A = this chain, B = another copy of it.
Amino acid sequence: MPGSCLERVRANTPLVHNITNYVTVNDVANIILACGASPIMSDEPDDVADITAICGGLNINIGTLNRRSIEAMFLAGKRAAELGHVLLLDPVGAGASRLRTETALELMNALPFTVIRGNISEIKTLAVGNGSTKGVDADAADTVTEDNLPQMISFVKTFAKTNHCIAAVTGAIDLVADAQHCYVIRNGHPAMSRITGTGCQLSGMMTAFLAANPGDHLKAAAAAVCTMGLAGEIGVRALLPGEGNSTLRNRIIDAVYNMDAETLEKGAKYEVR
C-alpha cells in the first residue's frame, strides 16, 4: 500500500503551497523535493490566493504564526477549499499559548481540512479547547503507549469523526484515523525527536501524498507517516561515530530521496484497527 502512494507522488509531482514557520522551512522544502513533489512558500495575504491556485495542496503550519501570516492562512485556505485542494493543518504549539490554540480552532472552524496532524498534546488541546502542551513537544503524560492504545485509537477516531477530517497523531506510536479505521504505525526512532522539524517535514510531505493520491486520503496519510518513520530508521542506521542530530537531519531527507516503493513496502510497520 504505501509503496504505490509514494509512486503516485513521483508520477504526479504535485506542487504544495506551504504557509509554515521559518524555523524548519528549508527542511520542509527539501523533503518535499526528496519525495518527488515541489514546494512553494508564500505567506503574504496579497500573494497567497494566486499561489495556492496553481498548487495541488495547502499545508498550514502555525509554528511561528504572526498577524500577517494568520490572515494569509485564512485567505489561502478559503481559496484552496473553493478549488477542492487538499488542506492540512499542523497546529504547532496549540496549548502552549492562547493565540495558537485559538488560531488553530478558528482555522478548523473555517476550513475543511483533509488532515489535522500534530503530536498528542496538540490534538488533545484541540479536542477539548485548551491544553497543557510543553512548548512544541508532546507532554509525557499524554503519550500513546501499548497500554493505552485502545483508548487512544478510540480518541483519535472520535476526533476525526467530530472534525470531519483525518487525524494524524505522531509520536512513539503513530495513529492515522478517520471515523472508522485507524492505522497504527510503529516506524520511526526516538532520535528523531532530537531534530527540530521532523513533524513539520512530515506535514509538508503528507500534503504532497494527499494531493497525489486523491482516491484514498487515509492510505496516503498513513503512507507518508510510514515513509517518514522508515527514513528515520534508515537515517539512524547510517550514522557514523561522532555524527549526531544535525547529520541525522540530512540523512533522513536523503533516505526519503532514495526511498523506493519496494523498500517502503518491506519496511513499513502498520496495522489497521
Question: What's the Cα separation between A66 and B256 when bound, in Å?
Answer: 32
Contact of A257 among B51, B66, B244, B257 (CB under 8 A): B244
Contact A238 B242 (CB under 8 A): yes
Residues of B within 8 Å of A7, CB to CB, are none
Stretch at the interface among A40-48, A80-88, A172-180: A40-48
Contact A44 B26 (CB under 8 A): no
A sample of 20 cross-chain residue pairs with beta-carbon separation below 8 angstroms, ordered by A number, consists of A15-B134, A21-B41, A22-B25, A22-B41, A23-B29, A30-B196, A30-B246, A33-B195, A38-B134, A40-B135, A41-B64, A43-B64, A44-B66, A51-B93, A54-B134, A55-B135, A244-B254, A244-B256, A246-B254, A250-B250
Assuming the A-B contacts A26-B26, A40-B135, A64-B43, are A34 and B245 also in contact, with contact meaning beta carbons closer than 8 angstroms in the complex?
yes
Residues of B within 8 Å of A117, CB to CB, are none
Does A106 lie at the interface of the complex (its beta carbon under 8 Å from any beta carbon of B)?
no
Does A266 lie at the interface of the complex (its beta carbon under 8 Å from any beta carbon of B)?
no
Contact A44 B15 (CB under 8 A): no
Does A124 lie at the interface of the complex (its beta carbon under 8 Å from any beta carbon of B)?
no
Does A216 lie at the interface of the complex (its beta carbon under 8 Å from any beta carbon of B)?
no
Question: What's the Cα separation between A38 and B136 when bound, in Å?
Answer: 9
Does A273 lie at the interface of the complex (its beta carbon under 8 Å from any beta carbon of B)?
no
Contact of A194 among B51, B249, B257 (CB under 8 A): B257
Does A137 lie at the interface of the complex (its beta carbon under 8 Å from any beta carbon of B)?
yes
A34 → chain B, closest Cβ, in Å? 5
